Amino acid sequence: MTFTPQPGEKAPDFAAKDQAGAIRRLSDHQGKNVVLFFFPGGGSATCARQAAAFRDQVALLRRSNALVIGVSGDDVVGLKRFAMLNRVNFPVLSDPDRVILREWGVLRGDRAERRTFVIDAEGIVAKVYNAVAVARHVQDVVADLQQMHGPARLFPSVDMSAVESAG
């Protein structure tokens, strides 16, 4: 029996190879918010659209002290091709043995179910997105991060406190 980590629970740690073959661990990112999204595989147009949406908003997510990590059951070679074709600018991790997929409760048949977790800087699950609507998913994640941690600065070099106190 598998379970899905719920908000308030410690996020299960893992280690897996990314598209470049480097080992990545969730625990390496303590002190940052992590947007961890699981996707069925790099061969579908829907997965490509989801990855592109995260790619296009990665700078805004970083301003919310968040980094993006994708995970699928694809092998490293397949994920490298997927990342290159879609100009992915974040790690996508390979879980060909489905260990991480099982541990996170997202394995359906032999593929990952499309699901996203926001993990806070202390390694606690803050939000779970069970029903991912790819068309608006990244906007939902950004909005939730802003609600959790305040708005991301669109212009980080501008000190907004003087503007906010004047209004």
Task: Tell me if residue 47 is catalytic.
Answer: yes
Exposed e or buried b per residue across 30-56, where buried means at least 16 C-beta atoms within 10 angstroms of its C-beta: eeebbbbbbbbebeeeebbebbebbbe
Q: Which of 47, 71, 101, 125 is catalytic?
A: 47
Give the Cα separation of 92 and 4 in Å (integer): 20
**Please, which residues bridge with residue 92 across strands?**
70
In the sheet that holds 33-38, the strands lie side by side as 23-25, 15-18, 92-94, 66-72, 33-38, 115-119, 125-129
By annotation, the residues acting in catalysis are 47
